[in-house]
């Protein structure tokens, strides 16, 4: 991020200076009102009546709200205020929970007055700046930042055109921009509301504080009622509060209870020179592509056994990715650790099926055998033992993964062999077990060797693609519509509708779309018949006008990754993928991309987020991936089972498929 350029682009639209005020019994004795539309400021006194009516001061927000609204006020009325108050305990600095902030506004979701609350730094800092409450009203005709500087006793309304809307990023940008030095970063709090708040009536407010242990901005959310939507509607990009001189007892380490539970500081993973070289080598393999950040981190975790502070800094500089995003990825996914893990990870599935089959007993037995607790690493650094939420192998319960290999039906008698490597992994068994009930998707089960394309071609694989490429792309979508094929990922959305939307968006926007096969949660079919998966992707690419496909596979599914990579090489050798597919002049190729794991990555928007270099967390459905997905391009996301059914529609016909899919 270019902070100098951001700062130069700021334009101060209004400025107000105020006198400092000392707290007396938790009260500063005054409130602050800012009208971002008229760009004016006012300080009002806290009256005896306010204190008598609202014991503790936490109702000041309601008192102030009633001074602003009328019976005609609606959520999008300029006079609809956002009121912040923290009560007299905001002046108690011995523990942070005392400074909880109440935020009130007329709600977009309900049309009534709603309040939400948030802990963290904002409430105390508002108090120490000299105000018991804050009212923001009006509506700006430009996107602005309100900066309340409790050090220089100055408030500005600033046009800020270059800062991000993303709350994680803008919190980091503004903290770095307004802090005088590294130590000053902890004196800033940033309030913002993300991109989605402009399109949803349920937007939340995000309050940031600077985590100096991780050197990154951390967020606390204040939800309920859509107050974040009101914030964005007023033209506010962010509210920044700066205060220095807060009692040093008010810190994360100031509470004895918090000291007992706070995580250890993130260590360096080696000497700086060695770390720089290792990270640079990984980044070089991925071409400094910001969309490959997750895979860079997967490589580093495998090679270095942790994601260190140095690694986060270097990846951020090389890819232009904010540290906040990288840190979020590192703490979101179980695949990553901020402290070194052992040479081999032993993960016991604690999903419901595995618990019912005795997984907790297995975990306890491994703890006894290795002499560590859950999450611990053995003294010799050989093993890290972890209980994990789900390994996606319910029919193998209880399941254990050791060093990337899956083992099923584990009993205590198997543990010695599991640890010393003499027990055979169950990848093949997992594929067979997980494929029950997949119907037509398994038509080649046991008849196709996943390592030999000749066996697939002998079974007619790629015949559907050959028929598709000899006709019009629209004919493929018409056949899908007639077949009534629906997505098999859980939503059951009509495949033809999704493909039509993607093709139309690509034509209207003049962008090349991308086809993604999400194999995060059902890679068993990919292991059994990777060629049919590639055929389905090729047909999809032809139908929507894409030349690029991505096969998204969990990094810890070694068998699926091997099968996919081998199948891709053979398909390219046979000119079934590449620049001139089947001699038709059509170009379409597929890249295997690795997921950091987690069941949530099976959801389409979460997969796209991960492929874009961020954590695999779903984003709002108002963003239609078919219109705006990976890199802002039209994106068709389908799971494995959906895609392997597509060739059947073309080879057997829509009527046949419609009749047989009910029993599949």
Residues 577 and 457 reside in one and the same domain: yes
**256: Cβ contacts below 8 Å, ≥ 6 apart:** none
CA distance linking residue 231 with residue 481, whole number of Å? 43
Residues 476 and 399 reside in one and the same domain: no
Residues 444 and 429 reside in one and the same domain: no
- 145-159, 495-509, 587-601 — which is least confidently predicted? 587-601
Question: Could you tell me if residue 466 is inside a domain?
Answer: yes
Task: Name the percent of the chain lying above pLDDT 70.
Answer: 88
**Taking a C-beta distance cutoff of 8 angstroms, is the pair 455, 447 a contact?**
yes
Question: Could you tell me if residue 313 is inside a domain?
Answer: yes
> Which pLDDT does position 545 carry in this prediction?
96
**285 φ, ψ (degrees, to nearest 5):** -65, -25
Q: Could you tell me the residue range of the domain that residue 55 belongs to?
A: 3-254
**341 φ, ψ (degrees, to nearest 5):** -95, 175
Tally of domains within the chain: 4
- Range 333-349 average pLDDT: 90
Q: In 268-420, where does DSSP find H-type helix?
A: 272-285, 293-304, 309-319, 323-332, 352-356, 359-370, 415-420
Find the CATH number of the domain harbouring 474.
3.40.50.11540
Residues 33 and 157 reside in one and the same domain: yes
- 335-344, 417-426, 489-498 — which is least confidently predicted? 489-498
Question: Could you tell me if residue 136 is inside a domain?
Answer: yes
Residues 394 and 450 reside in one and the same domain: no
Residues 469 and 560 reside in one and the same domain: yes
CA distance linking residue 603 with residue 595, whole number of Å? 12
User: Which of 114-128, 139-153, 379-393, 486-500 has the highest average model confidence (pLDDT)?
Assistant: 139-153
Instruction: Give the other-Cβ count within 10 Å of 11's Cβ.
Output: 12
111: DSSP letter = S
> Which pLDDT does position 215 carry in this prediction?
77
Question: Could you tell me if residue 259 is inside a domain?
Answer: no
Residues 151 and 15 reside in one and the same domain: yes
Question: Could you tell me if residue 263 is inside a domain?
Answer: no
> Parallel, antiparallel, or unpaired for β 548-554 and 589-595?
parallel
218-239 pLDDT, tens digit each: 888 887 789 999 999 999 999 9
Residue with the bigger pLDDT between 121 and 340: it is 340
CA distance linking residue 455 with residue 447, whole number of Å? 7
Question: Could you tell me if residue 99 is inside a domain?
Answer: yes
CA distance linking residue 523 with residue 647, whole number of Å? 18
Find the CATH number of the domain harbouring 385.
3.40.30.10
**539: Cβ contacts below 8 Å, ≥ 6 apart:** 464, 465, 468, 476, 646, 647, 650
Question: Could you tell me if residue 202 is inside a domain?
Answer: yes
Helix (H, G, I), strand (E, B) or coil at 15: strand
**314: Cβ contacts below 8 Å, ≥ 6 apart:** 275, 276, 279, 280, 283
- Range 114-128 average pLDDT: 82
- pLDDT at 526 > cutoff 90: no
Peptide bond preceding 398 in cis form (omega within 30 of 0): yes
Residues 452 and 525 reside in one and the same domain: yes
Across the strands, what pairs with 554?
595
360-374 pLDDT, tens digit each: 999 999 999 999 998
Per-residue confidence at 123, pLDDT binned at 50, 70, 90? confident
- Range 441-465 average pLDDT: 78
Residues 102 and 161 reside in one and the same domain: yes
Q: 616: which 2 tokens?
A: 């695999």
**Taking a C-beta distance cutoff of 8 angstroms, is the pair 551, 523 a contact?**
no
**Taking a C-beta distance cutoff of 8 angstroms, is the pair 449, 461 a contact?**
no
Write out the H or E segment, with its range, that includes residue 146. Answer: strand 144-149
Residue with the bigger pLDDT between 385 and 441: it is 385
- pLDDT at 625 > cutoff 80: yes
Residue with the bigger pLDDT between 487 and 374: it is 374
- Cα dihedral 217, 221, 226, 232, rounded to 10, equals -10
Residues 103 and 221 reside in one and the same domain: yes
Q: In 287-338, where does DSSP find H-type helix?
A: 293-304, 309-319, 323-332
> Which pLDDT does position 89 carry in this prediction?
58
Which of 67-94 are b and which e, b meaning 16 or more Cβ less than 10 Å from the residue's Cβ?
A: ebbeeebebebbbbbbbbbbbbbbbbbe
Find the CATH number of the domain harbouring 11.
3.60.9.10
Average pLDDT, the chain: 85
């Amino acid at each position: 991020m270019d902070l100098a350029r951001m700062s130069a682009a700021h334009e101060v639209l209004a400025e107000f200076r105020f006198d400092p005020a000392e707290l007396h019994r938790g009260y500063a004795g005054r409130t602050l009102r800012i009208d971002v539309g008229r760009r004016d400021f006012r300080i009002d006194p806290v009256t005896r009546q306010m204190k008598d009516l609202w014991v503790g001061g936490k109702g000041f927000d309601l008192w102030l709200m009633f001074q602003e609204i009328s019976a005609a006020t609606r959520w999008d009325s300029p006079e609809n205020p956002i009121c912040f108050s923290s009560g007299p305990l905001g002046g108690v600095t011995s523990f942070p929970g005392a400074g909880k902030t109440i935020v009130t506004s007329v709600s977009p979701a309900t049309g009534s007055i709603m309040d939400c609350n948030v802990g963290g730094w904002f409430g105390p800092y508002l108090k120490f700046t000299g105000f018991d409450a804050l009212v923001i009203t009006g509506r700006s005709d430009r996107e602005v930042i309100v900066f309340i500087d409790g050090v220089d006793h100055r408030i500005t309304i600033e046009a800020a055109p270059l800062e991000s809307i993303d709350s994680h990023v803008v919190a980091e940008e503004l903290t770095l921009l307004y802090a005088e030095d590294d130590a000053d970063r902890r004196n800033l709090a940033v309030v913002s509301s993300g991109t989605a708040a402009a399109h949803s009536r349920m937007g939340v407010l995000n309050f940031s504080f600077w985590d100096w242990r991780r050197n990154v901005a951390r967020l606390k959310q204040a939800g309920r009622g859509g107050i974040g939507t009101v914030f964005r509607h007023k033209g506010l990009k962010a509210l920044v509060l700066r205060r220095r001189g807060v009692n040093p007892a008010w810190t994360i380490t100031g509470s004895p209870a918090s000291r007992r539970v706070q995580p250890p500081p993130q260590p360096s993973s080696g000497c700086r020179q060695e770390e720089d070289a290792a990270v640079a080598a990984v980044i070089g393999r991925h071409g400094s592509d910001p969309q490959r950040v997750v895979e860079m981190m997967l490589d580093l975790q495998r090679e270095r056994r942790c994601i260190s502070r140095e690694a986060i800094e270097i990846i951020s500089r090389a890819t232009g990715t904010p540290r906040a995003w990288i840190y979020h990825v590192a703490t979101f996914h179980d695949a990553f650790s901020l402290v070194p893990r052992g040479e081999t990870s032993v993960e016991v599935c604690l999903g419901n099926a595995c618990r019912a089959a005795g997984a907790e007993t297995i975990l306890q037995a491994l703890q006894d055998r290795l002499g560590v607790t859950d999450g611990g690493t053995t003294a010799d650094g050989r093993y890290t033992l972890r209980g994990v939420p789900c390994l996606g192998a319910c029919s193998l319960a209880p399941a254990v993964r050791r060093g990337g290999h899956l083992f099923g039906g584990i009993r205590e008698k198997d543990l010695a062999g599991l640890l010393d490597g003499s027990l055979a992994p169950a990848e093949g068994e997992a594929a067979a077990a997980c494929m029950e009930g997949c119907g037509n998707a398994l038509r080649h089960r046991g008849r196709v060797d996943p390592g030999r394309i000749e066996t697939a071609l002998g079974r007619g694989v790629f015949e559907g693609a050959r028929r598709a490429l000899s006709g019009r792309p629209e004919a493929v979508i018409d056949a899908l519509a007639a077949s009534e094929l629906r997505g098999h990922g859980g939503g059951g959305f009509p495949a033809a509708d999704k493909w039509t939307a993607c093709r139309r968006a690509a034509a209207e926007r003049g962008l090349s779309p991308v086809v993604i096969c999400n194999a995060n949660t059902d890679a068993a079919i990919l292991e059994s018949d990777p060629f049919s998966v590639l055929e389905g992707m090729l047909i999809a690419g032809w139908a929507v006008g894409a030349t690029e496909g991505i096969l998204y596979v969990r990094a810890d599914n070694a068998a699926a990754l091997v099968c996919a990579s081998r199948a891709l090489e053979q398909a390219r050798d046979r000119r079934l993928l590449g620049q001139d597919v089947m001699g038709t002049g059509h170009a379409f190729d597929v890249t295997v991309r690795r997921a950091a794991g987690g069941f949530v990555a099976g959801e389409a928007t979460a997969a796209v987020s991960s492929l874009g270099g961020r954590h695999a967390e779903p984003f709002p459905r108002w963003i239609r991936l078919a219109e705006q997905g990976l890199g802002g391009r039209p994106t068709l996301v389908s799971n494995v089972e959906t895609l392997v059914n597509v060739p059947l529609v073309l080879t057997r016909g829509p009527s046949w498929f419609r009749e047989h899919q009910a029993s599949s």
